[in-house]
Structure 1
Amino acid sequence: MAQTSVRYIVYDVDEAVDFYRDYLDFEVEMHPGPGFAMLARDGLRLLLNMPGAGGGGQGGNGEESPQPGGWNRIQVEVTDLDETKARMEKMIIPIRGDIKEGVGGRQIVVEDPSGNPIELFEPAQKS
């Protein structure tokens, strides 16, 4: 079965690896050098590249190198959003806005050390 991969451009791969491993429970599958790492969690492969590093960190046809940021994001499911948010606040992790509630559950967007967004999502309780 094919695995879904998402590539994030980060300023510091080592710092990003620490963040995703220590705070969001990703496993490091590969970290061959300072410009690239491959992590995994629950069927998602996360590829981390520095701007200009390797194939994935380069722009195409003389374009500028990709940069971190924006609003496209991965979603990481959590069991207790309030506790997770409190832990992120304690560690001074940037948080974009307040917890939002919808039909499917509750979510909040936090940032990795390079400013890439991650949606933390707590599914609604099934009745």
Structure 2
Amino acid sequence: MSENLVNVRYMVDDVEAAVAWYTTHLGFALLTNFAPAFADVRRGDLRLLLSGPTSSAGRPMPDGETPGPGGWNRIHLIVDDLPREIERLRAAGVTFRNDVVRGPGGAQILLVDPSGNVVELFQPAGL
């Protein structure tokens, strides 16, 4: 693997559903699949580790809290044509968390994977 590879772990409720969502909708490629516990997918230099409830990452913490999906931390994917991506993903039934937000740096929208994890699509200003 590339030394520039960035690894991000997402806790998911269903590893197979997460693999299908990331590979079908966002262009990730499957690396390994040990469902129902774990799979990893890759897009460019991003390796996304999809850890299910039976994975070692899903084991309870010493205080008893169990890791789970969701939250506001997210991967940030740059796209060339945000309106086109939104249209494509809406047609595929992907869930969005908000409408497009525009700022001085560009425009963004948030998607929600099958487990509630957030993914940001971002089009830099000027593209």
What is the TM-score of this pair, normalised by structure 2? Answer: 0.90
Alignment of 1:104-115 (within 5 A): 104-115=105-116
The match for 2:32 is 30
Alignment of 1:56-95 (within 5 A): 56-95=57-96
The match for 2:18 is 16
Question: Aligned AA for 1:63?
Answer: G
- CA deviation after TM superposition for structure 1 residue 92, in Å: 2.1
Distance 1:117 1:70 in 2: 7
Distance 1:2 1:80 in 2: 25
- CA deviation after TM superposition for structure 1 residue 48, in Å: 0.3
Distance 1:123 1:59 in 2: 39
Question: Aligned AA for 2:110?
Answer: V
Runs of 5+ unmatched residues, structure 1 = none
Alignment of 1:33-48 (within 5 A): 33-48=35-50
The match for 1:102 is 103
- CA deviation after TM superposition for structure 1 residue 93, in Å: 1.5
What is the TM-score of this pair, normalised by structure 1? Answer: 0.90
- CA deviation after TM superposition for structure 1 residue 107, in Å: 0.5
Aligned length in residues: 125
Runs of 5+ unmatched residues, structure 2 = none
Question: Aligned AA for 2:48?
Answer: L
Asked if the contact 2:31–2:42 (Cα under 8 Å) also holds between the matched residues in 1, the reply is yes
- CA deviation after TM superposition for structure 1 residue 89, in Å: 1.6
The percentage of aligned residue pairs carrying the same residue is 42
Q: Could you report, residue by residue, the CA deviation over 1:63-95 in whole angstroms, capped at 9, with x for unpaired residues?
A: 232111111100111111111111222222111
Which 4+ stretches in 1 moved above 2 angstroms? none
Distance 1:68 1:54 in 2: 13
Please report the RMSD computed on the Cα atoms of aligned residues, expressed in angstroms. Answer: 1.5
- CA deviation after TM superposition for structure 1 residue 97, in Å: 1.4
